[in-house]
Amino acid sequence: MKTIRIIPRLDIKGPNLVKGIHLEGLRVLGSPEILAQYYYENGADEIIFQDVVASLFDRNSLHEIISRTAKNIFIPITVGGGIRSIEDIQDVLRAGADKVSLNTAAVRNPSFIQEAATTFGSSTIVVAIEAIKNEDGNYYAFVDNGREETGLEVLSWAKKVTDLGAGEILITSVDRDGTGEGFDYELLSAVKNQVNVPVIAHGGGNKSMNLIETIHKSNVEALAFASFLHYDAYNLIQQIPNGVEHGNRSFLEQNQSFKKIESGNISELKNLLLNNNIPCRS
């Protein structure tokens, strides 16, 4: 069986790590660099940085965060949000990223995927797909954090982006994002059956609900987590001097959380996988 990767996803607005539900209602959780360092030291296989307001400014503003983070962690870093040109990709890679995640630019100009893959190699190009299930039972792709419908059916879109050279797909269930209701393994399985590149599952991740079932039924290569990891990490790093910085954190400082989310850490996830005979990097 393939080795499963565990990937923290850090959504960033300005200098802050944020998280919401269904990609909306963002709450400030602290410093992305500190959280990334914490996850690296605790066994993360990769890190995803996503600029969640990049579409408002048509640019990615994470260069300084990437540069500072890349000096101290030595696992692959994927960066997404506002990347619309070959020059944008060059800038992000020079700052220290290993891969870029494309969504809006890929939808607006699919040939950009092919150009990027030819220039930098397919292994550098991840296409992110924000999927919402329609009343007709089909999944459709959205952009701008699940706010703008594209009219693209997810399975055909996934097949097209890999044909154009994407080396990996990050599939987010917007319906499950931030809810802790478990991954949508039906969506993941359907996408995986359409493509021959690695698929990263994101949206709804929760240790106790359907993690093992998702891996067995969907055959994905990686699992991306946000809320599930962030709330547990916050409780630890807030005890470190200067460990939590920036912004209004009243939601966390009042010991609030999303009731459906059983927070946990990377070690717990990997022990769960190993105890169920699923290979992962220990």
Mean pLDDT of 50-71: 77
Mean pLDDT of 29-53: 88
- Give residue-wise pLDDT tens across range 207-231: 765 789 999 999 999 999 988 887 6
280 is a domain residue: no
DSSP characters over 138-151: -EEEEETTTTEEEE
Does residue 11 have an active-site annotation? yes
More confident residue, 45 or 82: 45
Q: Where are the extended beta strands (E) located within the chain?
A: 5-13, 16-21, 24-30, 47-51, 77-80, 99-102, 125-133, 139-143, 148-153, 168-173, 199-202, 222-225
Mean pLDDT of 149-162: 97
More confident residue, 239 or 32: 32
Q: How many CA atoms lie within 13 A of 77 on its CB side?
A: 28
Here the tokens at position 266 are 């990377």
22 is a domain residue: yes
pLDDT of residue 264: 85
Q: Which amino acid is at 226?
A: A
pLDDT of residue 238: 54
Neighbours of 186 (CB within 10 A): 14
Predicted confidence (pLDDT) at residue 247 exceeds the cutoff of 50: no
Predicted confidence (pLDDT) at residue 268 exceeds the cutoff of 70: yes
Domain boundaries, position 70: 5-275
95 is a domain residue: yes
User: 171 - beta bridge partners?
Assistant: 129, 201
The share of the chain scoring above pLDDT 90, in percent, equals 62
Does residue 24 have an active-site annotation? no
User: 141 - beta bridge partners?
Assistant: 131
Q: How far apart are CA 223 and CA 166, in angstroms?
A: 18
Mean of the per-residue pLDDT values of the chain: 85
User: How many structural domains is the chain composed of?
Assistant: 1
26 is a domain residue: yes
Strands 168-173 and 148-153 come out as unpaired
Q: Which of 45, 51, 130, 168 is catalytic?
A: 130
DSSP characters over 235-248: HHHTTSTT-S-SS-
98 is a domain residue: yes
282 is a domain residue: no
We report the CATH number of the domain holding residue 122 as 3.20.20.70
- With cut-offs at 50, 70 and 90, classify the pLDDT of residue 106: very high
pLDDT of residue 16: 74
Q: Which of 11, 45, 46, 177 is catalytic?
A: 11
- Give residue-wise pLDDT tens across range 163-196: 999 999 999 999 998 788 889 999 999 999 999 9
Here the tokens at position 135 are 């009343």
87 is a domain residue: yes
The pTM assigned to this predicted structure is 0.89
281 is a domain residue: no
